[in-house]
């Protein structure tokens, strides 16, 4: 990382790492600092949703992430009467969908996600400055001046933007004076631990429901440990000792043949449900848990933070490269409503978990985050009516069965790298567009051999589609309005697509 950075990122969890990769990949000088002396231990979050896997694909880390995880791990639930049910597989409605490359959640410990992102950042020439904390900052004339403290002393740096990715107790948020509205619910607590287990198979996520609460043991792929979770109601013992964890398991599972080893990591989680009043103060931005924090029910938190970074990263780079500064206002306008919806969803799932004393196995577009959209955003424009199933602001669907002069591929292969992309289903002659033709004869031409592309975009023989760097649709014109595409690109500081 260069010392003369344009962006200072505080916090090297998944959100901060994702943002650093986004910026470094776009040639933006960036520093990523982390107060902890090294990578954080423990599995913590473990569910990666399909939309996040698409994001990882776009920056070139999805294969690493998939290699250390497991898709569609079954959840085996044992009721108080001993009845066993299994769920958690691929949703029926998402099977064999050419527009969706990943249809189920991936289970992998959070530290594996961070590891993959650190490796990608290193490939892009960056690093994490561990043991470096933000002490203070001031805002003045478009510059953020920050004081950093490390073992060797303090350092004062001046950057254009500061991004707080430093978690629920964010120093950046507090010093920016941004309110963190919500509540801490002490009656909703959970023990979480990573430990080895004897006497239990690793073929499924095991859950036992008991009148006093639930207890689960989830095998963590690419490790030799399970993640242990146990709800702790008021009056119940929250001690993190091996003896208490074993006692809870024995009583709630009714089994004596499953033995726990001493935890490698353990924590007592409390339900914090909070949303930042705003995501920006001048040149200071918030992302991830610094901006929103909620229960792990539904597996949304880490994913929402990563997608915050995906949204903010290309916009910071675009403004630095000449786009209007007003583009940065769309970050909060687009992402804060998403976080509000996630808080409502995770809170409802948490209430269901506590009421039913069991984790829901239901997976749909809301939990998989494939339905997240920015309809109504200042960046969304189309000439379709309200009955259209695909509108500007929606996630750009994938499509298989495309043919180019270089061979067969899928649409997401062409979108990889995070840039504006134009799909031209007619003959609008937009410079740099991908033209959909019957038979490709040169670069920039694709044949929709199986019709999946036209079906996914509801395209006519005049349709133009402009896809943003973060994989959302900026513009759809069924009238072939090339001027609208040019205007949209110009508004983002781009004269033509590459």
CA triple 112-373-411, angle to 5 deg: 70
Q: Which residues contact 114 (CB under 8 A, 6 or more apart)?
A: 12, 13, 14, 17, 39, 40
Distances (CA, A) of 103 to 54, 255, 303: 11, 34, 15
Question: Nearest 5°: phi and psi at 16?
Answer: -60, -40
Per-residue pLDDT tens over the stretch 11-63: 999 999 999 999 999 999 999 999 999 999 999 989 999 999 999 999 999 99
pLDDT per position as a tens digit, 422-462: 999 998 888 899 999 999 999 999 999 999 999 999 999 99
**Beta-strand pair 259-260/197-198:** antiparallel
Closest alpha carbon to 47 in 102, 8, 4, 98:
102
* pLDDT score of 228 more than 80: yes
**At 272, is the pLDDT very low, low, confident or very high (cuts 50, 70, 90)?**
confident
Write the DSSP assignment of 27-38 as a string of letters.
T--EEEEESSSS
Average pLDDT score over the chain: 92
CA distance linking residue 285 with residue 224, whole number of Å: 38
CA distance 378 to 323: 14
pLDDT > 70 in the chain, percent: 94
Q: Is the pLDDT of residue 377 over 90?
A: yes
Per-residue pLDDT, 91 = 83
Looking at residues 176-199, what average pLDDT do you find? 92
The C-alpha atoms of residue 204 and residue 197 are separated, in whole angstroms, by 13
Domains and their CATH numbers in the chain: 7-70+100-182+272-368 (3.50.50.60), 183-270 (3.30.70.2450), 381-491 (3.40.30.120)
What CA–CA distance (Å, rounded) separates 155 from 126? 19
Span 229-254, pLDDT tens digits:
999 999 999 999 999 999 999 999 99
Residue 4's pLDDT band (cuts 50, 70, 90): confident
Note the pLDDT of residue 493. 72
Upper half-sphere CA count for residue 453 (Cβ side, 13 Å) = 26
Indicate the helix (H) or strand (E) that contains 263: none
pLDDT above 50 (res 2):
no
Kindly indicate the confidence band of residue 94, based on its pLDDT and cuts at 50, 70 and 90.
Answer: confident
* 287 neighbors 178 (Cβ within 8 angstroms): no
Residues 102-106: what's their mean pLDDT? 94
Mean pLDDT for the stretch of residues 316-340: 95
CA–CA dist 194, 224 (Å, integer): 10
CB 335 within 8 A of CB 311: yes
Q: Taking the C-alpha atoms of 98, 99, 104 and 108 in order, what is their torsion angle to the nearest 10 degrees?
A: 110
Q: Are 34 and 128 in contact (CB under 8 A)?
A: yes
Q: Which two tokens stand for residue 42?
A: 């423990």
Greatest alpha-carbon pair distance for the chain in Å reads: 72
Long-range Cβ contact pairs of 334-337 (< 8 A, separation 24 or more): 334/374, 334/377, 334/379, 335/279, 335/291, 335/307, 335/308, 335/311, 336/275, 336/276, 336/278, 336/279, 336/291
Q: What is the mean pLDDT of residues 135-164?
A: 96
pLDDT greater than 70 at residue 361: no
- Helix/strand/coil for 346: helix
Angle between helices 14-25 and 301-320 (to 10 degrees): 30
Give bridge partners of residue 178 from the DSSP assignment: none
> Confidence class of residue 379 from pLDDT cuts 50, 70 and 90?
very high
Query: DSSP class of residue 186?
Result: E
Q: What is the DSSP string of 75-133?
A: EEEE-TTS-EEEE----GGGTT-TT-S--S-EE--HHHHHHHHHHHHHHTT---EET-E
Query: pLDDT tens digit string along 283-312?
Result: 999 999 999 998 666 557 899 999 999 999
* 345 pLDDT above the threshold of 90: no
């Amino acid at each position: 990382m260069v010392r003369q950075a344009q962006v200072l990122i505080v916090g090297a969890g998944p959100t901060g790492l994702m943002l650093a990769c986004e910026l470094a990949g776009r040639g933006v000088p960036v520093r990523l600092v982390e107060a902890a002396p090294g990578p954080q231990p423990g599995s913590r979050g473990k569910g990666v949703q399909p939309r996040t896997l698409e994001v990882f694909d776009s920056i070139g880390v999805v294969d690493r992430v998939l290699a250390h995880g497991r898709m569609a791990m079954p959840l085996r639930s044992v009721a108080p009467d001993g009845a066993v049910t299994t769920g958690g597989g691929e949703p029926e409605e998402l099977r064999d969908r050419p527009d969706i490359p990943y249809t189920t959640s991936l289970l992998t410990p959070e530290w594996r996600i961070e590891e993959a992102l650190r490796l990608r950042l290193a490939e892009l020439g960056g690093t994490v400055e561990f043991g470096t904390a933000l002490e203070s900052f001031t805002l003045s004339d478009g510059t953020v001046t920050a004081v950093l403290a490390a073992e060797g002393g303090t350092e004062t740096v001046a950057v254009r933007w500061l991004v707080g990715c430093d978690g629920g107790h964010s120093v950046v948020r507090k010093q920016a004076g941004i309110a963190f509205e919500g509540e801490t619910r002490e009656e909703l607590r959970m023990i979480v631990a990573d430990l080895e287990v004897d006497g239990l198979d690793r073929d499924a996520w095991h859950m036992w429901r008991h009148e006093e609460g639930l207890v689960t043991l989830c095998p963590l792929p690419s490790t030799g440990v399970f993640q242990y979770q146990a709800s702790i109601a008021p009056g119940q013992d929250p001690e993190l000792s091996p003896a208490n964890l074993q006692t809870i398991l024995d009583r709630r599972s009714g089994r004596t043949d499953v033995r726990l080893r001493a935890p490698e990591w353990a924590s007592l989680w409390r339900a914090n449900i909070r949303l930042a009043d705003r995501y920006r103060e001048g040149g200071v931005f918030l992302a991830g848990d610094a901006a929103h924090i909620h229960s792990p029910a539904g597996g949304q938190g880490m994913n929402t933070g990563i997608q915050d970074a995906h949204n903010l990263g290309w916009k910071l780079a675009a403004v630095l490269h000449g786009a209007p500064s007003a583009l940065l206002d769309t970050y909060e306008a687009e992402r804060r409503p998403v976080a509000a919806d996630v808080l409502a969803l995770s809170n409802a799932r948490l209430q269901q978990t506590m009421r039913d004393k069991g984790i829901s196995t239901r997976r749909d577009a809301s939990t998989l985050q494939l339905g997240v959209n920015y309809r109504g955003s200042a960046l969304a424009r189309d000439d379709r009516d309200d009955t259209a199933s695909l509108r500007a602001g929606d996630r750009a669907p994938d499509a298989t069965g495309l043919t180019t002069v270089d061979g067969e591929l899928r649409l997401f292969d062409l979108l990889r790298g995070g840039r504006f992309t134009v799909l031209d289903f007619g003959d609008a002659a937009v410079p740099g567009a991908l033209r959909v033709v019957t038979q490709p004869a040169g670069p920039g031409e694709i044949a929709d051999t199986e019709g999946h592309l036209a079906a996914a975009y509801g395209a006519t023989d005049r349709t133009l589609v402009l896809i943003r760097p973060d994989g959302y649709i900026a513009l759809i014109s069924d009238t072939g309005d090339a001027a609208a595409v040019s205007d949209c690109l110009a508004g983002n500081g781009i004269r033509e697509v590459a």
